Amino acid sequence: MIRMFGRSCALALLVAVLGTCAATAAAVGDLAPDFALPAAAGGNVRLSEHRGEVVLLTFWSSRCAVCVAQLAALDELQSTYRSAGLVTLAISVDDDLARASRFARSHPARFPLLLDRRKDVSRAYRIERLPTTVLIDRRGRVRFLQADDRGSDNSYVAQVRALLDDPL
């Protein structure tokens, strides 16, 4: 009886925790969940420090060939639109952090490559496929989510332009 009660409590706790996570996960129109992550090059980056700018988040892995190609394309996009207020943050979901760090050193970018060690940010944004792109407007709201495992859909570029034209 005590063992059953213990399992029931554990199950209830698990359901409560999962329910809380699902309720705070990002969806289009929601306030983007804030985070602070270490950059592979050193230092920390906090999303909320970029309020007032358009933020493009991309979730990637060093083992994902499509992700590698997308990071190169985003480097060009960042170069083109940085002066207009675009901030790009690339969040690694690699299980092997040493591999992700080596990848970051060998593929320099014009934006920080961040390490999501515990996958908290990945869960908050409901990342299921790689690469996934999330666009956040100047007010901190999620405006666009796209998972593109084929690498053929770059419709986020038009969304970036529209958000950069949208005043605060």
pLDDT of residue 150: 62
- Could you tell me the domains of the chain? 27-165 (3.40.30.10)
Pairing between strand 86-92 and 54-60? parallel
Count the helices and strands in the chain (H runs, E runs).
Answer: 5, 7
pLDDT of residue 144: 93
Using H for helix, E for strand and C for coil, what is the string for 99-153?
HHHHHHHHCCCCCCEEECCCCHHHHHCCCCCCCEEEEECCCCEEEEEEECCCCCC
Higher-pLDDT residue of 2 and 153 is 153
Higher-pLDDT residue of 139 and 166 is 139
pLDDT tens across 1-58, in order?
Answer: 444 444 443 333 333 333 333 334 588 999 999 999 999 999 999 999 999 999 999 9
Confidence of residue 111 (pLDDT cuts 50, 70, 90): very high
pLDDT of residue 1: 40
Q: What is the CA radius of gyration of the chain?
A: 18
pLDDT of residue 80: 95
Reply yes or no on whether the pLDDT at 108 is more than 90: no
8 A C-beta contact, residue 105 and residue 61: no
